[in-house]
Amino acid sequence: MKKKLLSILFAFCLVLPMALLITACDGDHTHTYIKNGGYVVEDSKAYTTEVCECGHTKQTELSNYIIATPDSAQSILDGRYGKISGKTILFFKGTYGALEIKSTVDTLTAIHEYNVNDPLDMATTTTLEALSNTTTYHYTRDLSDVHFVALEGAKFEGLFSIQSKDYERYIWQADTIIGLSDSTELSVDPIRNVKVQDYNCNGIIDESDIAFVDHINLKNITFENMNFSGSKGRVYIGQSYATTVENIAFKNCSFVTEEEWSGYGAIVMDTQATDRQESILRKNISVENCTIDGHYQGVVIQNAENVTIKNNTIKNTTHNAINLQGHFTTGTVTIDSNNISKTGDRAIRFAELEDATVTISNNTLIEATDSDNEIIKTQNSPAGSVIAITNTTIDGIALENRAYSTTATAQIIIAKPTAN
């Protein structure tokens, strides 16, 4: 028994054949299984569970998974147990603090010499073995096909962050990174955790030293059944230039806090780009069947292309419930069947819409306006985008079923109608 418990409490990267465990059934009929998203761990093996209407259950053994505990989770994300791309990460029961997906020497997929005259230049590739302590670099990590799943009893009370970082604002503060005392000759490489000369080679460490950029490309990433709580319990995906962010999904997650600020929002995907040309798009983002209670905002996605926000409950936000701002939003946006209540500002806020088709349907809004009774607002946008509203109510009053077209000279503002 002790060996079984120990085997569960450590992280394992398993590549196993598929297997079925099927319970007995007294009935003689063809089973219709409904995949309910349940996961179980037995004897260090993980299974998904499907249930028939008659109660008959079928368990299918997972392949390519890693079991994480509060003690091992960060090391797993850092690649200490091998690459996590293509894996399901199962968070065992327990309380998790802050977790961060970042580049480490175990996870690098590309390294480029840093061109101080053109920070977006990624032409010169090098290897880990060839790195110098007198040159600065772009580090790149590719992360794809990762499914983060919380098992019953797993709680997340810290920030879960995935960030592409520009270390300009950190590199000169060497003592705050690895305890290096103030120096006029040395700085620090936060990826390799080694002392280096400043890139200006002027013998002065100051705020002008841009040393290292950590790029993380994301594709096909899912968060499922994860329960976040407290002022720090949220997800932040912050990306800088020349990175890929696409096919990101949140399913059946909860974000609950009584704090008014608690960061920029429960789910935040923002950009460090300073203008439209540098912006990257977050493509194919979905938030479904989630609960957000509290937080400054609910869902924040900057520079989005193709977004689905469906079947969620969002309430008690200090500011907007749904914020699709940044520089612009494009593609297909679906906001459907959500319950939004007691927001400190509008229910939905857009930046510019550009070649966007927005459908807002079947939503129930309660006390979800700003001080001017505005429910939905856009920036001035180029002609060609449409917001179509159907079957949506605010405080029991139906919004008009109609389509609004964008113009470059006016915002779209949809306010609470006067009751008849």
| pLDDT one-digit tens code per residue, 231-288 | 899 999 987 656 789 999 999 999 999 876 666 899 999 876 656 655 678 899 999 9
E strand or H helix that includes residue 168: helix 168-171
DSSP 126-167: E-GGG--TTS-EEEEEEEEEEEEEEPTTEEE-SEEEEE-EET
Alpha-carbon span 232 to 223, nearest angstrom: 17
Question: Exposed, middle or buried, 203 (CB in 10 Å: 0-12/13-18/19+)?
Answer: exposed
In this prediction, residue 14 has a pLDDT band, given cuts at 50, 70 and 90, of very low
Alpha-carbon span 95 to 70, nearest angstrom: 6
| pLDDT one-digit tens code per residue, 341-388 | 999 999 999 989 999 999 999 999 999 999 999 999 998 899 999 999
Q: Residue 181 CA to chain centroid, in angstroms? A: 35
In this prediction, residue 326 has a pLDDT band, given cuts at 50, 70 and 90, of confident
DSSP 251-264: ES-EEE---S-SSS
Alpha-carbon span 265 to 345, nearest angstrom: 13
Sign of the CA dihedral with 277 first, then 245, 382, and 418 last: negative
Tokens of 80: 């200490």
* Proportion of the chain above pLDDT 90, given as a percent: 49
Alpha-carbon distances of 332 from 61, 286, 344, 359, rounded to whole Å:
36, 12, 27, 8
| pLDDT one-digit tens code per residue, 94-138 | 999 999 998 888 898 888 876 666 666 777 788 888 887 766 777
Q: What is the chain's Cα-based Rg?
A: 24
